[in-house]
Structure 1
Amino acid sequence: MSYNHLFKIVVVGDHNCGKSCILLRFAENSFRIDHISTLGVDFKLKTIKLGRDKVRLELWDTAGMERYRTIYNSYYHSAHVFMCVYDMTNEKSFENLESYWLKEIKQHAPQNAVLMLVGNKADLEAERKVDFDRAEKLATRLGVSLYEVSAKTGINCEEAFHTLATAMRERVCAANLYSDDSEDAEEYASAFHVDGVIGNDKKSSRLSSCCNSPPEPAFV
């Protein structure tokens, strides 16, 4: 199948946050309550349409267990996009975003990678331990996207991945605007680190139309 863009998305976060289930919901629109824990790294493919473009997404699922963490660095280096997942019913998984996962991404990821925070298990509102406002404050401080999703019901799963793919496509188009000036292109690519969409309201998006004007840079 032909496509216009190919993007590598790496999904990280603590063990049992539901990363594999989020990918299964997005890639195959299904959910398994008896899903087996990922060992090491798993991989899926999904092609989506963004306007007239076909975008091929490589979806890399990391296990989250400590004994596998040393193998992730090689996957970080070539990633275009990171989805950093926490469990809304598990406060420790949210705390570990800052204490571990975001540090690892900042240390090993390309400077122009797109980043999104995702709170899973939005269907378990009665068991919520991480308030949306608290997560939104972290996302706002970092200048990154935040989505609350449910792999079980499918709430916001497709929207989150489409937002990431759109952000990466905008970055590619914006870089092409500077193709006549390699110095400007390098400066722009290194500065524009995140897509800047906060929360689930798409009206808050600062993404521009592809290949018109570049999106406003944001910094981590």
Structure 2
Amino acid sequence: MTIKRVLVAIYMVLLIISMIVIFVQFKENQRYERYISAKLSQSLSDFLTAVLVSEETLHQYMNSGKKEMLPNQATSLCYNFKSIGTEYEELLQTAKSLKKVNDVQTDQITANAAQDIHFFLARQLIGNGVLGDCTPPKSTLTLNEKQFEKIKGIYEISKQWSAIAKNLVPEATPNGVKNANWDFVVNDIVWVQLLKDYSAYANESGMTGTNQFFN
């Protein structure tokens, strides 16, 4: 009888320990999910805003009918394409770490293309000596024919990127993402599909993402 009581006591202690471990793990998973959701929300917001601001800036420039680009336009484009590349890379690596996508479904082309455009704007258009430096030019930029043709090509890409963003997150605007249901946006249906759509466009358009503009 004593042995049975000891065994029951041991069983109860083990059961309590197991419940404590499960509870601690549950709370840890909750904290991790909140961290991931907050990180995704910020990256998505920054990415979508940069995409839409770039498209709007290029739209204004192309509609001006001039080859002169204002310093603030050049700087805005430079910083925003840099942000597009950085945030897309962050989203892609998060998706792969969580095993939401694989290399067949998504690729680096979009991030590489944004970085390529960023380098073109910083080094060749603005004319800063340091690769990637978006420091504003001192005066209005007069584009030569080759630069203007590249800007036209960048605008076409930007319009497609903007269309994908607006389709999946209608609440996104050049002023930021307001009134969005982030619980819905950061689920697999939206942010993973966003990566897949950008990758699909990159492949369908023949975009290489490497030295397409910065050469």
Which protein is richer in helix relative to its size?
2
TM-score normalized by the length of structure 1: 0.29
Q: Which has the higher contact order (CA 8 A, sep 6+)?
A: 2
TM-score with structure 2 length normalisation? Answer: 0.29
Q: Which has the larger radius of gyration?
A: 2
